[in-house]
Structure 1
Amino acid sequence: MRKICVIGGGRYFGKLLVQRLAEAGHEVTVINRGSTRPPAGVEHLVADRDDEAALTAALGTRTFDVVVDQVCYTPVQAAVAARVFRDRTRRYVMTSTIEVYDPATADLPAVPAGTPVTEDLVDPAVWRVRLDLPWQDAAYQDAHYAEGKRQAEAVLTRAGGFGFVPVRSAHVLGGGTQEFTGRLAHYAELVSRGGTVDVYAAERPTVFIHHEEMADLLLWASTASDFTGPVNACSDGLLDVRELSGLIASRTGREPVYRTVAAGEAAGPFSFDRHYAMSNTRAKELGFTFSRTADWLPDAAAEALGASATHTS
C-alpha cells in the first residue's frame, strides 16, 4: 500500500485512475478546486494548484510516496509543484502529451516519415525554460499547449528531490461521452452518415490509447516500477486517418467518403501532414504490455456514435 496524491483526477482517465488506485488498496488523496468530488474513501483536499500558499496550507504536514499530476500545463505550474512537493514525495508522475513531438510547434530534429519517435527526441533535461512568458493568460496557454508541456517537463526534471516521470500520452479515446474532445465521435458520425472525411494527399500516421489503458499505465508508472525519465504511452499499431475511418466503417457498414484537401488547408483532428507517431518500446522494455488499437477502436467508435445519438436526441 502506498500513499498517493493525485492532482486533478476529476474526469476521464484521471477519474478512472483514482478509482483503480483506491481499489488496489492505496491510500489516495485528490487535490482539485472542489468542482468534482472523488469516490468514497478517497481524501479530498480543495485548493487551486496555481496558488502556492493555498496549496501548501491545504497539504499541511502530509507526505506521499507518489504524486500523479494530471493538470500541469505550464512551467510556472511545474515550478510551484516542484517547490511544494520537494520534501513531500519521492516520486512525481506527470501526464504529458504526444504533442511535445509536434514539429509544427518546435524546432525538432528531422525524423524519417513513418518512423515512430522515441523519448530522446525531446530531452527535458536540456529544454529551455521561459518562466517570463505570459503563461497565466488562458489564450496564450491554449495556443502554446505543446511548449507548455515541454517546459513543464523540463522544470520538474531539473527540480531534484524526487524521481520524475513524464508520461507522454497518445490521443486518448474511448468511453463515449467521457471522451470530452469529441474527436472520435466526429469521425464516427461522418462515416456513419456518409459525410466527407477530409484527408491530405500524403497522410502521416499517429498513435492512440484507450482511456482504460491510459489509467492502467499511470497506475503502473506510479506503483509498479521505479524508472524515471520520459515514457511514451500508446497502444500498438500506427494508423492514419484513412485506416482509422476504415476501422470505423467495419462497424458501421458504410464505406468512408474522402476529400483530399490542399497543402496547408485545415483537415480533421486526426489528419496529419507532418510526423505524428510515437514508439512505445521503452514502456514495453520496462514491463508494460499494450493492447492493439485495431482491436478496441471499432467498439470505441460505436460507443462514441451511440453516446452522440443519445446526447442529441
Structure 2
Amino acid sequence: MQRICVIGGSRYFGRLLVERLQATGHQVTVINRGSTQPPAGVEHLVVDRNDEASLIAALGSRIFEVVVDQVCYTPVQAAIAARAFAGRTRRYIMTSTIEVYDPATAALPAGTSVPEESVDPATWLVAMDLPWHDEAYLEAHYAEGKRQAEAVFTRADSFAFASVRSAHVLGGGAQEFTGRLAHYTERIARGDEIAVHAEALPTVFIHHEELADLLLWAATAPDFSGPVNACSDGLLDVHDLAAIIAAQTGREPVYRTVDAGGTASPFSFDRRYAMSNTRAKQLGFAFSRTADWLPGAVAEALTASAAPVA
C-alpha cells in the first residue's frame, strides 16, 4: 500500500484513477476546490492549488509516496506545486498531452509518430511572466503551458518527475467532457456536414479507461522518469473515425472540404500529429488497439446523445 495524492481527480479518467487506486489498496488523498466529492473512504482536501499558502496549510504534515497531478496547465502552477510538495513526496507525475507535439506551435522533426525526446522538457524555455492567469491566453497557449509546466517539474530537485502525455481521449458516453466524439456521432446521425481537410492526416487516441489504467501503472509500478507517451495502437484519420460511426448509424458521412489552414472538425488535421508509444511498451505497459475499443465508444456516444439511428 502507498499513500498517493491526486490533484484534480474529480471527473472522467481522473475519477477512474482515484477509484482504481483505492480498489487496489492504496491510501488516497484528493485535492480539489470542492465542487465534486471523491469516493467514500478517500481523504478530501478542499483548496485552490493556485493559492500557495493555502495549499501548504492544507497539506499540513502529510507525506506521500506519489503525487499525480491531473490539472496542471501552466509553469506558474507547476512552480507552486514544486515548492509545496518539496520534501513531501519522492515522485511526482503530471498528466500532460499530445498537444505538446503540435507542429503548429513547436518545431518538430518530420515523421508520422514522434517519440518523447522530440520535446525535451529539460531544455524548454520557461517564461513565468506571461499572462498565464488569463483564461483566454491560457486557452490559446494550452500546448505551451503544458510544455513549460513539464519543464518546471523536470528541473525540480526534491523529487523524481514523470509526465504522461495523453493522446486524444475518447469513451465514456456522457462523461466525455470534450464532446468531440459526440460532435461526430450526432452530425453523422443527422446527415449534417463534417468539415475536413483535403488531405486529412492521422492521429492517435486512447480510451479513458486505458488512460486511467496507465496512470495507475505509472503511479504504482515502474520508477521511470521523464515523459512517456500514452496512446493505443493504430493510427486513424477523420475518415476512419467517420466510417466506424457510419457503420453504426447506417448513414454515410457528408464531408465538406476546407481550404488549407482553414478550421475543420476536431480530429481532422492537416499536419503530422501522432505519437509513438514505444517507450511505455518498453517499460512494461501493454496497449490495446484503437480499432478494438472505438466501436464501443461510438455506441456509448450514440446512446448518450439519443441520436436517431437509421
Match of 2:83 in 1: 83
Output one character per residue of 1:213-258: Cα deviation in whole Å (capped at 9) or x when no partner: 0000000000011111100000110000001111111222222222
Q: 2:214 aligns with which of 213, 217, 220?
A: 217
Q: Which ranges of structure 2 fall in alignment gaps of 5 or more residues? A: none
Q: Is residue 2:71 matched to residue 1:74?
A: no
Contact 2:101-2:108 at 8 Å conserved across structures? no
Residue 177 of structure 1: CA displacement?
0.9
Q: Is residue 2:298 matched to residue 1:301?
A: yes
Residue 110 of structure 1: CA displacement?
3.0
1:234 & 1:109 partners in 2: Cα distance?
19
Contact 1:90-1:162 at 8 Å conserved across structures? yes
Match of 1:16 in 2: 16
Within 5 Å, give how 1:188-203 maps onto structure 2: 188-203=185-200
Equivalent position SS for 2:158:
coil
Residue 130 of structure 1: CA displacement?
0.2
Equivalent position SS for 1:92:
strand
Equivalent position SS for 1:230:
strand
Q: 1:290 aligns with which of 287, 297, 304?
A: 287
1:250 & 1:292 partners in 2: Cα distance?
18
1:251 & 1:159 partners in 2: Cα distance?
49
Q: 2:255 aligns with which of 254, 258, 263?
A: 258
2:285 & 2:246 partners in 1: Cα distance?
30
Match of 2:150 in 1: 153
Residue 143 of structure 1: CA displacement?
1.1
Amino acid at match of 1:284: K
Match of 1:111 in 2: 110
Name the TM-score, length of structure 1 as normaliser: 0.96
1:46 & 1:222 partners in 2: Cα distance?
22
1:4 & 1:109 partners in 2: Cα distance?
35
Residue 212 of structure 1: CA displacement?
0.3
Equivalent position SS for 2:123:
coil
1:123 & 1:44 partners in 2: Cα distance?
34
Q: Is residue 2:139 matched to residue 1:142?
A: yes
Output one character per residue of 1:46-70: Cα deviation in whole Å (capped at 9) or x when no partner: 1100001000000000000000000
Residue 97 of structure 1: CA displacement?
0.3
Q: 1:227 aligns with which of 221, 224, 229?
A: 224
Contact 2:171-2:297 at 8 Å conserved across structures? yes
Contact 1:32-1:48 at 8 Å conserved across structures? yes
RMSD in angstroms over aligned alpha carbons?
A: 1.0
Contact 1:250-1:298 at 8 Å conserved across structures? no
Output one character per residue of 1:120-179: Cα deviation in whole Å (capped at 9) or x when no partner: 000000000000111111111111100000000000000111111110000101001110
Residue 259 of structure 1: CA displacement?
1.8
Among the aligned pairs, what percent are the same residue?
A: 74
Amino acid at match of 1:229: G
Amino acid at match of 1:200: H
Equivalent position SS for 2:291:
helix
Equivalent position SS for 2:121:
coil
Residue 260 of structure 1: CA displacement?
1.5
Amino acid at match of 2:100: V
Within 5 Å, give how 1:241-256 maps onto structure 2: 241-256=238-253
2:292 & 2:194 partners in 1: Cα distance?
22
Q: Which runs of 4+ in 1 moved over 2 A?
A: none
Q: Is residue 2:143 matched to residue 1:166?
A: no
